[in-house]
Amino acid sequence: MLLLDGKPLSYDKAFTHEGIQYPSNWLRLSSLEQKESIGIKVVPDPPAYDQRFAWGYLEDGSLNFKDHQQLIAGWVSKVKESAGSMLSQTDWYIVRRADTGTEVPPEILDRRAEIRSFANSKEQAILASADSAALRDYVTSPAFSFWSQEELSAYEQSIAESEEPLAYEQSIAESEDVTTTEGQ
């Protein structure tokens, strides 16, 4: 990031300093020495943050989190909206049963119950979050993104499989250490 008199400068945008108008391409074409000669400082960009949960950084470098209660209300609403959207795809089965008495296939009823169960679990976790940072950590975790036991199990299986080679490699390394130690 480029700063002049404490204000950020943008590439490809003209600026004025001490009565001199600099053209929009000046920052791209000038050397570091030329920039520094008029007082431009090159500073690192501020670290990224999730704007859904924080306003930015405070002077001490900590995140300025948004109001926790408002975040809770918003995320509970999003969970309800997602669940409602998924349930609406099979609502016609329920309406047909009410109209004609035709039974709803058990797998449809099971899936609808699963969606409701996942929604309830998500809402409880959101409501139980201690602060905005904890809410952010939950909402951005894999646990929040799954809406079926099948998806969750597949994810957990992939994690377990990815850790197995590490455990296997570690056990080999440990056995080699024992062999080397015993051989000395």
pLDDT band (50, 70, 90) for residue 183: very low
For 42-64, the pLDDT digits (tens) are: 998 878 999 999 999 998 889 99
Phi-psi region at 121: left, alpha or beta (left = phi > 0; alpha = psi -120 to 50): alpha
What letter would DSSP give residue 131? S
Q: pLDDT tier at 161 (50, 70, 90 boundaries)?
A: confident
- Provide the strand spans (E) within 23-179: 40-42, 54-57, 63-65
Tell me the two tokens of residue 92.
């016609």
Report the alpha-carbon distance of residue 116 to residue 96 in Å, rounded: 20
Cβ neighbors of 38 (< 8 A, separation 6 or more) are 4, 17, 18
Query: What per-residue confidence (pLDDT) applies to 174?
Result: 55
Residues contacting residue 103 through CB under 8 Å, at least 6 positions apart: 97
pLDDT tens digit sequence for 62-77: 999 999 999 999 999 9
Backbone dihedral angles phi then psi of residue 49, each to the nearest 5 degrees? -150, 160
Structure tokens at 44: 């690192």
Residue 124 structure tokens: 């409880």
Question: What length is written for the chain?
Answer: 184
Q: How far apart (Å, rounded) are the C-alpha atoms in residues 65 and 44?
A: 22
* Separate counts of helices (H) and strands (E) for the chain: 8, 7
Give the start-to-end residue ranges of the domains of the chain: 2-42, 69-141, 148-184
pLDDT at residue 4 greater than cutoff 70:
yes
Work out the mean pLDDT of the chain and round it to a whole number. 89
Is 90 exceeded by the pLDDT of residue 22?
Answer: yes
Which token pair is 58? 């405070």
**Residue 87 to residue 79: CA distance in whole angstroms:** 12
3-state secondary structure of 122: helix
